[in-house]
Structure 1
């Protein structure tokens, strides 16, 4: 009788633990690369979608900076994140067994636009715009792939010097929307911006082409991706990582995809981002 009681108690405890694990909220974040209200709307929709697909509560947690997104991932405050190429590399270096699991179709061949205020007289060309030297220049966030890493790489390659030496003044706007706004207003003469944000804001009428325009488009590179912690199966149940991956790959709602904007999500791996890691190491952005 005693053994039976212990068996019953053990079974109840196991069931309780299982229910507790299933009830635990799955959280994710995203780098703040654009207007906060737009990000909140986009990722609240993603949370609702994932909740329905995974059968657990899913919550989006906004952060104030790229560094904060990486820290939240490192500290297990979030288990999944929508990172840029550089921030994803940085995060995965800090969390053992974390993996890039999905990227937008467009993220295989991402690019940066160099933009200029009309007063510079600069116009679009196929070659790197060497005439930007000596002007004022703004990047996006210090941790941005499209707004800092790749443009800085091309600037160093062209001028054989750091941006601070190549330009009269260098700034970091914080996000791509602010980069566009600052160049359009003339606060900076030239800037580097995520092409997707530019195209989205141009289509929505937020850009005045008479004041600011694209002057150069970089060669393509891999960028944004969903990265997940390696311990999610232990925390949320067997095959949870595979289920999250499949849910992202199965995201087909046109409205949801348009908010990124991406035409679809496709499989990704850590190795896909080796070019980003190598570039970051080459210009001293990784330890």
Structure 2
């Protein structure tokens, strides 16, 4: 049995659905009462320990985290501390392999531009990124089998906000674009494509907290995104701020059988139908 934490959240909902579609016995865990899910607060160590003693999962996919909703929230040290506490409690409560959802924010800015290999991480520039990186190190230090799954930002799948949704909405209405004024490192993928990677990873050989990049085989930037969305909508779109490029090295993902046959262009084209 696979236990999915944060299963009532944005990514966790889709991960749980994809696992069940792939034939896995998967159980969702949520801190609030949700029909068909187990309820547990991961910051309550005794409560979590009791649940794990009762359920004894074969694997845990740890999606639960307070994902920032604004640039300011990326520097929230208190939320970062709570995220690390959940990982510590999880490590203490179960010996099951853990597939931990990490983030592209564990990579710092690099100049000149290179595709990020898993070994390039370790210079995060936000409280959120530092906490995600620290959690990876704790998992690795524990010797626990599993993966640290590094994802870009997520969109689609029912979420009606975020950078891509807002830009598409503005372009399709003919409104002025609201863009970050400072250069930002950025990448994204449809949440449903991200979720589809997890059944494959559950089948892969599990070693000691191996980091793995999951994303599209694209070069990302906000500047490139604006040009892409302008092309897709047929509307004039200009980004005055030069934003840096980012790309994942996906060699390890491909070697493990994760093959996402989508790209950012295709995902944005599909999202246009949801926005409309």
TM over 0.5: same fold?
Answer: no
Higher relative contact order (CA 8 A, sep 6+): 1
TM-score, structure 1 normalization: 0.29
